Structure 1
Amino acid sequence: MRPIVPFRLGQLELFFLSDGEIWLDGGSTFGTIPKVLWSKLTEPDPQNRIRLGLNPLLIRHPERWILVETGIDRKPGEKFRSIYKLSADNPVLGQLAELGVRPEDIGLILHTHLHFDHAGLNTRLEEGRLVPTFPNAHHIVQKQELWEATHLHERSQASYRAENLEGISFETVEGEIEPLPGIRLVPVPGHTLGMQAVEIYSEGQQFAYTADLVPTMMQAPLPYIMAFDLYPMTTLETRKRLYERWVQGQYLLGFTHEPGHPLGRLVHSEKGYQAEPLYR
C-alpha cells in the first residue's frame, strides 16, 4: 500500500490516500493498444492482470473536509476480492485515522462516478447490515451518473452495485458547477456518460483529479482508451477538449488509478500528449 501523499495547492491542503491496489486485465485496460506496446509500460502477472492504484483524494477546505471518491467495494467477499487481488480491508480508513480524520468528520463527498472501485466505501457492513461509512457527508454526483447506476444494462451491470447506493442521499447536479469556493465539477463523459472530473484552484494554481478519463499516466496518449469505456469515441473527444484546457492552464493532475506517485502533469510535443510524473 502506498503511503499518504500530501501537497499544497495555494491555500488548500490535499492528501492522496490509498485504498490499496486493484489488478485488472491488461488488454482491457489498454483497449485497442496491442500487448507488444503496453507491456513495455507495465508487466502483467500470469493471468494477464496489471497492478493499478486506488487513490481517493482528501481535501482540507476552509468550510469542511472533502473526500473525492471513497474507495473500492470489498463487501462481496473473498471470491470477489481474489478476482482483483484486493486486500481484505479498506486501508483508506486507516489512513484517514493517521491524519486524525474520523469518518464522521467528512462533510462532503464528490463522486467522479459510481463504479464499485470508486464509490464502494459509501457503505460498510455493521453486524450484517449496511450503514453509511461517512454518516455526516453530503454526496454530490452528476444526475446522468446516478441514472446510469440505477438503470443497468448488460455492459454496465458488473460495474455498479446497489449495496453502494443503499441509504445514501445524493445531490444530483447537471453540467459544470462550483459546490464550494475553489472546487469545480466538470463533466467528462466517455467512460460513463455521467462521469465528472474535479478541478481545484487556489492562488493561481490549478489541479484536476482526472477520474477514469485518464486513469494512469501510462494511458495519457489519446488512443490509450480502456475497453471498459462505454463510449470510447466520446472519451476521445472529451480528452481532446480537456487536454487542451489542462495543458494551457498548466494544471497539476491527479490520476485515480496510478500505481505509483499519483501527481503529474500533461505535456504536448510532436509525439502527441504524454503525462510526466512530478515525483517518482
Structure 2
Amino acid sequence: MKIYPIEAGNFKLDGGAMFGVVPKAIWNKTNPADANNLIDIAARCMLIEHGNRLILIDTGMGNKQSEKFYSYYSLWGDHSLEKSLAKHGFHRDDVTDVFMTHLHFDHCGGSVIWNKDKTGFEVGFKNATFWTNENHWRWATEPNSREKASFLHENIIPMQESGQLKFIDRPNTDFGFSNELGFDILYVDGHTEKQMLPHIKYQNKTIVFCADLLATAGHIPIPYVMGYDTRPLLTMDEKAKFMNAAATNNYYLWLEHDAHNQIITVENTEKGVRLKEVFSCQDIL
C-alpha cells in the first residue's frame, strides 16, 4: 500500500463560523485571521494505492462553480486536484474508487465536472465507483434548510445518473469494517448525518482521515466545535470519544482542512487531550 496527499486547493472561511462560541481572542492564536476575519483552509485529500485499486478520499470543491461562488471563499495558492494527481504520476482516469466522507461541496465538488461543451455536468472520474452511504445520501438529496447551501445538486445527482454510485452498508455499530475498500469507518452524526471517517492501517500505524470532526489542530479542545455543525452537542460527545481513542491508540490524524498542519498526534494531559506532535505527510508516508 502507498498513500499520497492530494492537495485539491486552498480557500478561506470565517474564523468565527469555524470556531462557533469560542472567542476570537483564543482561536486567533492557533488560526490567525486576516483583516476580513478569514482563516486559511486546505482541501487535503488522500489517495490510496492498494493492489489494483486507486482510492481517492474526498475531492475538494472543484472548479465548475461561478466566479461569484468562489469569491465567497477567497481561493488562494496554486494547488489543484489535477496537478496534485499528476505530481504523483496519476490521472483522473486512473482512479478506481472515490470515497466521500460526506457530500458538502468542499468535500465532493471535484467529483463532478463540466461536460465537453459546458451544457451540463458529468462525473470527473469515468472509471471510478463513487462511495457514500444511504442515510447520508438521503440527507443530502432532501436537505434541511440549514445545510441546503452546502449540498449542491450539480455536485451530487450526476454521480447517481452515471450509474457509478454505490452505498456502503452501515453496520449496527458506529464503527465498522468496509469489505469493499479495506479500511475501517467511523460514522459520526454531529456535523452532518452519517459522516464517514476512514481508519487506514499503514506501516504499523493507524492514520485517521478526520474530515470535519477535527477540522484543524486548533480544534483539538472538545468545546471547540464549528458553527457549521448541525448537532453541536452531539459533535462534542463524538469528538470526546474519538480524541480519547486517538490519544490512547496513538492515531495519526490526517487534517483535511488545516492549511499549515498536515498530520498530528495527540496525548492526554491534565487539561484534557492536547497536541503532541506535528508531522508533514512526507514524514509519515
- Is the TM value for this pair above 0.5? yes
What is the aligned partner in structure 2 of residue 6 from structure 1? Answer: none
CA distance, structure 2, for counterparts of residue 90 and residue 46 of structure 1: 23
1:46 to 35, 47, 54: 35
User: Who is 2:260 aligned against?
Assistant: 260
The percent of aligned pairs where both chains have the same amino acid is 28
Alpha carbons of 1:90 and 1:42: their partners in 2 closer, same or farther (altered >3 Å)?
Answer: closer
1:68 aligns with 2:34: no
4+ runs of 1 displaced by more than 3 Å? 87-90, 179-182
SS in 2 for 1:41: coil
Paired residue for 1:17? Answer: 6
Going from structure 1 to structure 2, the CA distance change for 1:202 and 1:44 (only over 3 Å counts) comes to closer
Contact 1:217–1:276, Cα closer than 8 Å, also in 2: no
* Equivalent position amino acid for 1:17 in 2: I
For 2:14, give the aligned amino acid: D
3-state secondary structure, aligned to 1:56: strand
- Counterparts of 1:46-195 in structure 2, within 5 Å, are 46-86=35-75, 91-126=80-115, 127-128=117-118, 129-169=120-160, 170-173=165-168, 174-175=170-171, 176-180=176-180, 182-195=182-195
Query: Is the CA contact 1:184–1:199 (under 8 Å) kept in the aligned structure 2?
Result: yes
Q: Which moved more, 1:182-191 or 1:269-278?
A: 269-278
Q: Identify the residue that residue 235 of structure 1 maps to in structure 2.
A: 235
Deviation at 1:74, TM superposition (A): 3.1
1:130·1:166 contact (CA, 8 Å) conserved in 2? Answer: no
Alignment of 1:24-39 (within 5 A): 24-39=13-28
User: What is the match of residue 211 of structure 1?
Assistant: 211
Partner SS, residue 257 of structure 1 = coil
TM-score, normalised to structure 2, is 0.89
Go from structure 1 to structure 2 and tell me whether the alpha carbon gap of 1:100 and 1:51 turns closer, same or farther (over 3 Å shift): same
Distance in 2 between residues matched to 1:140 and 1:23, nearest whole Å: 27
Opposite residue 114 of structure 1, the aligned amino acid is L
**Equivalent residue pairs, number:** 269
Q: Secondary structure at the match of 2:2?
A: strand
- Alpha-carbon spacing, 1:272–1:88, altered in 2? closer, same or farther (3 Å): closer
TM-score by length of 1: 0.90
Paired residues of 2:103 and 2:140 also in contact (CA < 8 A)? yes
Structure 2 gaps of 5+ residues are 281-285
State whether residues 177 and 185 of structure 2, in contact with CA within 8 Å, keep that contact through their aligned partners in structure 1: yes
Distance 2:77 2:32 in 1: 24
Letter in 1 for 2:30: L
The Cα of 1:148 is off from its aligned counterpart by: 1.0
Q: Which 5+ residue runs of structure 1 have no aligned equivalent?
A: 1-11
